[in-house]
């Protein structure tokens, strides 16, 4: 490779950091990037499974754990991998060193799902000047009170993008266990195709509906600052998927963007739905339900309200992340005591399936084709939500694979039979 002299933030996910052998592989990838003459900072996730293990410990210790102490516990996972990668790079003769979030510092506000407020790059600039490699644990920062803060699950992507923006990097490369962004999950649809290019907005919708290649927030942040992202495999030397603005302004490769109406089909098993029965018909009832959820920092997604009996009572159904279900039920207990509703029912056996594409804006038939396709297979739709570039439906989890497959075909996304092998290999 030529000496490009670019500044690159490389981010490696949990699967890439799972064990010393893989960390050595990551170190070798970093070494090659440095050898091209690029300035490199590396952001790492915890070893695959480690954050789950730590979260589980917190849940066992205290079901309604203090988010501040939760952050102390879970921030340790990335601390370990950052130290291990730094010493591995040093073992290869490279000038590497780890910098914790509180050491740079990466300033953040809040706990458990903190927001990055800013990153001081003075230390980083000195490392770059010194031809050094900074290894930074993702997912964490420090509050203005000096407490550890973590950014919420998948937050390492956001750490990497924020760091790339703060350090005025040329690109942020997200190394993961898939080799790019696909039209849908290739494990479900063997004829799924890898996309060379996707827009920030499409990626946002794909991420938010469960195509778990990148954390939603990281894509939103990259979009806001026009930071080019690349998703590529930690394990294979293959071109990945570039994520760029809709005008292709970040696309320096000259590739012409595809303009399919639909970019992909995503699904998300991480939602649970809550049904509240017997809401009295008076102003402020729904607000009284959602206010405590908002106060608890819980994202409510799809909402369905059904007017019901002659007595003026109605039901309210909405989805929350599965991980927030216990907190949600807890937050709603007081609303019920105050007569806000009668019964609370929960269901976690659901999936959200979404059709995503920037081309959708000029196409009113997308939703109709989606509903028809599902109806043909007798798949019942529990709730619907739409955005400018997405239509999502909530269905029974049992139908996940069937729904994704028939929609992938119906929207013309299946790869030609000839490229089946390449698609299936991923």
Residues that bind a second copy (CB under 8 A): 20, 23-24, 54, 57-58, 60-66, 68-73, 75-77, 79-80, 82-88, 90-91, 97-98, 100, 102-103, 146-148
How far apart are CB 123 and a second copy at their closest, in Å?
10
How far apart are CB 111 and a second copy at their closest, in Å?
12
Of 109 and 342, which CB lies nearer to a second copy in the complex structure? 109
Of 76 and 426, which CB lies nearer to a second copy in the complex structure? 76
Hey, what are 254's tokens? 């000259």
Going by C-beta distance under 8 Å and a sequence separation of 6 or more, which residues neighbour residue 320? 271, 272, 273, 274, 293, 298, 299, 300, 301, 328
Of 44 and 209, which CB lies nearer to a second copy in the complex structure? 44
Handedness of CA 416, 417, 421, 423 (dihedral sign): positive
How far apart are CB 88 and a second copy at their closest, in Å?
5
- To the nearest 10 degrees (0 to 180), the angle between helices 325-337 and 285-295 is 140
> End-to-end CA distance of the chain, in Å?
26
How far apart are CB 23 and a second copy at their closest, in Å?
6
Of 25 and 212, which CB lies nearer to a second copy in the complex structure? 25
How far apart are CB 149 and a second copy at their closest, in Å?
13
How far apart are CB 58 and a second copy at their closest, in Å?
7
Of 223 and 331, which CB lies nearer to a second copy in the complex structure? 331
Q: Which single residue is written with the structure tokens 């997604």?
A: 301
Of 39 and 98, which CB lies nearer to a second copy in the complex structure? 98
By the 10 Å C-beta count (0-12 exposed, 13-18 middle, 19+ buried), 415 is classed as buried
How far apart are CB 252 and a second copy at their closest, in Å?
35
Of 60 and 129, which CB lies nearer to a second copy in the complex structure? 60
């Amino acid at each position: 490779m030529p000496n490009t002299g670019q500044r690159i933030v490389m981010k490696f996910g949990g699967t890439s950091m799972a064990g010393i052998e893989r960390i050595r592989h990551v170190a070798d990838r970093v070494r090659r990037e440095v050898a091209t003459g690029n300035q490199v900072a590396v952001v790492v996730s915890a070893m695959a499974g480690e954050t789950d293990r730590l979260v589980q410990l917190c849940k066992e210790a205290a079901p309604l754990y203090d988010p501040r102490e939760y952050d102390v516990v879970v921030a340790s996972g990335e601390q370990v991998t950052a130290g291990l990668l730094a010493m591995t790079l040093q073992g290869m003769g490279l000038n590497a060193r780890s910098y914790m979030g509180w050491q740079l510092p990466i300033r953040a506000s809040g706990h458990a799902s903190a927001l990055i407020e800013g990153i001081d790059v003075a230390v980083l600039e000195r490392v770059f000047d010194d031809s050094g490699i900074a290894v930074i644990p993702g997912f964490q920062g420090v509050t203005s009170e000096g407490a550890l803060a973590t950014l919420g699950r998948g937050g390492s992507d956001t750490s990497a993008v924020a760091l790339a923006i703060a350090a005025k990097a040329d690109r942020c490369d997200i190394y993961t266990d898939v080799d790019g962004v696909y039209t849908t999950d290739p494990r479900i649809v063997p004829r799924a195709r890898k996309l060379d290019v996707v827009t920030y907005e499409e990626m946002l919708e794909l991420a938010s509906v469960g195509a778990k290649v990148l954390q939603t927030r990281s894509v939103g942040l990259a979009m806001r600052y026009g930071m080019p992202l690349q998703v590529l495999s930690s394990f294979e030397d293959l071109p990945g998927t570039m994520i760029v603005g809709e005008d292709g302004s970040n696309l320096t490769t000259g590739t012409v963007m595809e303009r399919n109406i639909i970019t992909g089909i995503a699904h998300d098993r991480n939602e649970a739905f809550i049904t509240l029965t017997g809401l009295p018909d008076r102003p402020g009832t729904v607000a009284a339900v959602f206010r405590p959820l908002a106060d608890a920092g819980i994202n409510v997604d799809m909402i369905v309200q059904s007017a019901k009996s002659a007595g003026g009572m109605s039901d309210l159904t909405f989805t929350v992340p599965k991980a927030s279900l216990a907190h949600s039920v807890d937050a709603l207990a007081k609303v019920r005591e105050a007569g806000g509703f009668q019964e609370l029912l929960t269901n976690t056996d659901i999936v959200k399936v979404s059709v995503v594409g920037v081309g959708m804006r000029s196409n009113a038939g997308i939703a109709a084709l989606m509903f028809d396709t599902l109806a043909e297979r007798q798949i019942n739709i529990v709730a619907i939500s739409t955005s400018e570039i997405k239509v999502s439906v909530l269905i029974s989890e049992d139908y996940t694979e069937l729904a994704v497959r028939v929609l992938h075909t119906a929207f013309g996304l299946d790869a030609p039979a000839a490229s089946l092998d390449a698609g299936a290999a991923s």
